[in-house]
Structure 1
Amino acid sequence: MKIGAHTSIAGGVSNAVEEQLEYDGNCGQIFSHSPQVWQDPSIEESEAAAFRERSAEADVEPWVIHSSYLVNLCTPKDDLREKSIDSMQQEVEAADRLGVEYVNVHLGAHTGAGVEQGLDNAASALDELDVPEDVTVLVESDAGSGTKLGGEFDHLAGILERSDQDIGICLDTAHLFAAGYDLSTPDAVAETVDEFAEQVGLDALECLHLNDSKHACGTNKDEHAHLGEGEIGAEGIAAVVNHPNLRELPFVLETPTEDGRGFAWNVDRARELREDWS
């Protein structure tokens, strides 16, 4: 089972591998810089080499770089669009230097431009990127609040249809649930996966963010919970990690650190739910 957590690059990007091993993870996700400011990744080649070598030695892969929270591909504002494109270009180049397979991004918000125009804006922004051959941009599903796009499978399908890039999809279980896609029972998981397969296509699905939700289905509230401890629950999370069309994908945790439990507890929990099902 490919299961890991979002880890820190503080003190050097290779430290993210050591932190992942502390959690007993074997894949993972990082930020290349602080996600709340406009900042280019500052990773020396020696650091990148150490990260590549340590990941290979420990067999920790694949890795995902999560883009800045400021990126808004859907925006109708020219200045924000250019900053978003530049930020994403820096991210895919950092991924290439690090040997990281994926760069994950949210579509952002259309802020009144409308869904169709927002999707057009996002696709054309993605098409301006010069993505290295061994890197894939993943568009992440969203919780669906306000004018943010990505909360509906139609939005994800629309990006794939519009863009000339070879884009993949990352589904976040908490976001799906918040957006109204039920995952709380095996039947609900099967129905949601079937709907995704029909509207978007399973070939596009490359990764899952595995998170429980502190809020009910369809509330558009994005607050993550420990696996099996939230509104999705143990039965739903178990159905996700064991679904035949999902179980071979990498699962990346963005679960909280609270109640004396953190990523290590959730990595163990995911494996338990996989084994219990078997």
Structure 2
Amino acid sequence: MNVGAHVSIAGGLDNAIANQIEVGGNCGQIFTHSPQVWQDPNIGEGEADAFRDGSATEDLGPWVIHSSYLVNLCTPKEGLREKSIDSMQKEVDAADRLDIPYVNVHLGAHTGAGVENGLDNAASALDELDIPDGVTVLVESDAGSGTKLGGDFEHLAEVLDRSEQDLDVCLDTAHAFAAGYDLSSEAAVEETVAEFDDVVGLDHLKYVHLNDSKHECGTNKDEHAHIGEGLIGEEGMRAFVNHPAIEDVPLALETPHEDGRGFAWNIEKVRELRGEN
């Protein structure tokens, strides 16, 4: 099973290798810079070489880069749209340098432009990217609060359909649950996975952010919990990670660091639920 965490690159991007190994992961996610500011990836040639070599030596991957939180593909504001496109171009170029196959992005919020215009904005913004061969942009499912898009599976399917790019999807379990897709039992997991397949297509599911939720299904509240200890719960998490459709999909955890537990505990829990321990 490919399971890992979103690990820090503090002190150098290549430090992600040791950080991932330390928590017991064999794949995972990184930011190339602080996600709270407009900043270009600042990756030295030595760092890039060390990251590629370390990933190959330790057999880590696939990795995914998470784009800046400031990126808003749905925005009707031209200045923000241009900044978002520029930021995404730099991320896909960084992925190419690092031999990382995926860049993950939220669609963002339409901020009053309306759902249809927001989806058109997102698709056309993505179409402006020059995505290198070997790199795929993943559109992430959202919790769906306010005017944010991506909470409905239909939003994801529409952007994939409207864009000329070959896009795929990252499903966040906590976000999907918050958006109203139940995952708290074996039957609920079967229904939600079947709906995803019907609307988006399981062939587009290339990565999963595996997180439990601190809030009830359908609340649109995005707050992650330890695996099996949130409102999705152990039954739901066990059913999800053992579902045949998820078997070969890499899992990246964004679980909290609290109660004396962090990524290592959660990764171990996932392996336990999968029956690997």
Q: TM-score, normalised by structure 2?
A: 0.99
1:225 equivalent to 2:219? Answer: no
Distance in 2 (CA, whole Å) between partners of 1:165 and 1:183 is 30
Letter in 1 for 2:115: V
Residue 227 of structure 2 aligns to a residue whose secondary structure is coil
Q: Displacement, 1:132? A: 0.5
Runs of 5+ unmatched residues, structure 2: none
1:23 aligns with 2:23: yes
Distance in 2 (alpha carbons) for counterparts of 1:69 and 1:87? 11
The within-5 A match list for 1:24-63 is 24-63=24-63
Kept in 2, the 8 Å contact 1:70–1:84? The answer is yes
Distance 2:24 2:180 in 1: 32
Give 3-state SS (helix, strand or coil) of 2:137's partner: strand
Shift in Å, 1:236:
0.4
CA distance in 2, matches of 1:270, 1:11: 29
Q: Report the secondary structure of 2:105's partner residue.
A: strand
Query: How big is each residue's C-alpha offset from its partner over 1:84-104, in whole Å with a ceiling of 9 and x where there is no partner?
Result: 000000000001111111000
Q: Please name the residue that 1:142 is paired with.
A: 142
Paired letter, 1:223: E
**Superposed displacement of residue 4, structure 1:** 0.1
2:117 aligns with 117
Q: Give yes or no for the alignment of 1:77 onto 2:82.
A: no
1:91 aligns with 2:56: no
Q: Does 2:238 correspond to 1:235?
A: no
The Cα of 1:46 is off from its aligned counterpart by: 1.1
Cα distance in structure 2, aligned partners of 1:26 and 1:178: 28
Deviations 1:142-179 (A, max 9, x none): 00000000000110010011001010100000000000
Residue in structure 2 matched with residue 2 of structure 1 by the alignment:
2
Q: What amino acid maps onto 1:209 in structure 2?
A: H
1:180 paired residue number: 180
- Residue matched to 1:169: 169
Task: Tell me if structure 2 keeps the 8 A contact 1:240–1:247.
Answer: no
Unaligned runs of 5+ in 1: none
Shift of 1:45: 1.2
Deviations 1:228-252 (A, max 9, x none): 0000000101111100011210000
Aligned to 2:157: 157
* Aligned residue-pair number: 277
Structure 1 position 34, deviation (Å): 0.3
TM-score of the superposed pair, with normalisation by structure 1:
0.99
- Aligned counterparts of 1:99 and 1:190: Cα–Cα separation in 2: 34
What residue in structure 1 maps to residue 250 of structure 2? Answer: 250
Q: Is the 8 A contact 1:67 1:105 kept in 2?
A: yes
The percentage of counterpart residues that share the same residue type is: 72
Q: Which amino acid aligns with 1:28?
A: G
Tell me the amino acid that sits aligned with residue 134 of structure 1.
G
* Structure-2 separation of matches of 1:43 and 1:160: 30
Q: CA deviation at 1:263?
A: 0.1
SS of the residue 1:17 aligns to: helix
Deviations 1:88-144 (A, max 9, x none): 000000011111110000000000000000000000000000000011000000000
* Paired letter, 1:92: V
Letter in 2 for 1:169: V
Equivalent in the alignment of 2:194: 194
4+ long deviations beyond 6 Å = none
Q: Take 1:189 and 1:247, find their aligned partners in 2: how far apart are those partners?
A: 14
Amino acid at match of 1:227: I
Summarize deviations over 1:54-86 as a string: whole Å, max 9, x none: 000000000000000000000000000000000
